Amino acid sequence: MTAIKGIRLASAAAGIRYAGRNDLVLVELAEGSTCAAVFTRNAFCAAPVTVAREHLAAGAVRYLLINSGNANAGTGEAGLRAARETCRLLAGMAGCALNQVLPFSTGVIGQDLPVDPFAQSVPTLMQGLAEDGWDAASRAIMTTDTVPKRVSRRVDITGGTVQVTGIAKGSGMIRPDMATMLAYVATDAGVPADVLQTMLNGAVEASFNRITVDGDTSTNDACVLMASGASGCAVDALDSADGQALAAAVGDVCRELAEMIIRDGEGATKLVRIRVEGAARPDEALAVAYTVAHSPLVKTALFASDPNWGRILAAVGRAGVAGLDVDRVRIWLGDVCIVSDGGRAPGYTEEAGQAVMDSSEIPVRIDLGRGDSAETVLTCDLSYDYVKINAEYRS
């Protein structure tokens, strides 16, 4: 992990849900930093999402306050009061305005968020702030994750080298519209807030909005991009060479974090890349990709390493593509063509399909034969452990 000048982090064990592990994170942005964010589109968005949106609109963000173990979602007015009170506690101790604090929560839905652990832990967090706090923070935001997710990149732009570092959490309840995940990315470049927001929107669309574990969109999803400007290198426009270089680095960080989330999907044993090409429009390609990715029959066959290609064919056929000419559709497992001319490919053998399905990474390619649009979605298999993890989540 590369520290980002102007961004400091601290973690603490507040006992919000977990005993004996850090579950509260504070992120401090230096004066003059800019901040952008995207949030879940779930109508039952969590209280901290509502408050963070309001505060972000006011600008001049100085602190992020993140807790795991309790989502503070489905908690009504009490949840909003709790989210605002945690911001008020921090603002009072940090000497900043209330709307300069963005709250974030992840964990169990429908349980009231206790405020006392925040009051007890914020002083410790303030004292522990350090630029090298990324690793501890990546662990403190975990819930059902089995590994921390963190990525760093550097990029040369006019005036020198700038750094990009990001962390994320997410393992289940993962589906686009912010696919339960939280992600925090920072750079030491100086970037105006509007440029930063556009940069983040593009990065998220090509990364966190192209993954799915189980088709469930969380109430709490959020991704934040921060720019401290501490490097002295400025990026004032996205369409400049420097803007494109920084956007590429931010995109790389987001894509790698997104892939880490899928690799760590609850109970997952396989990473699956579903590429749909030859579509008439991008939304058509995505509709087919997600229909395949969300099919329980396809996902369980992947877990069993069973080359049951008929399940993929059936999913493509029910994706809602109007006027689909099935005779033009071709489907591959890896390099093995499994479907063409409306049925099983003439050269397909079970042995060839089995060799692909035995791998831990499985590429699925679908050509609809309708146009030039293409999209790729990452997913995983559906195992016994996914059911066990989620059946026992509140126990």
Residue 129 burial class via C-beta count within 10 angstroms: exposed 0-12, middle 13-18, buried 19 and up? middle
H or E, element range at 119: helix 116-128
Q: In whole angstroms, what is the distance from residue 393 CA to residue 143 CA?
A: 10
CA distances to 73, 292, 306, 343 from 26, in Å: 20, 39, 46, 56
Residue 393 burial class via C-beta count within 10 angstroms: exposed 0-12, middle 13-18, buried 19 and up? middle
**CA–CA–CA angle 229, 235, 238 (5° rounding):** 140
> Could you tell me how far CA 82 lies from the centroid of its own chain?
25
For this structure, is 269 an active site residue? no
Q: In whole angstroms, what is the distance from residue 378 CA to residue 359 CA?
A: 15
Q: In whole angstroms, what is the distance from residue 15 CA to residue 107 CA?
A: 13
Q: Which residues pair with 182 in a beta bridge?
A: 169, 222
| Residue from 180, 187, 291, 379 carrying the catalytic annotation | 180
The residue type found at 318 is R
* Strand, helix or coil for residue 391: helix
Catalytic residue numbers read 180
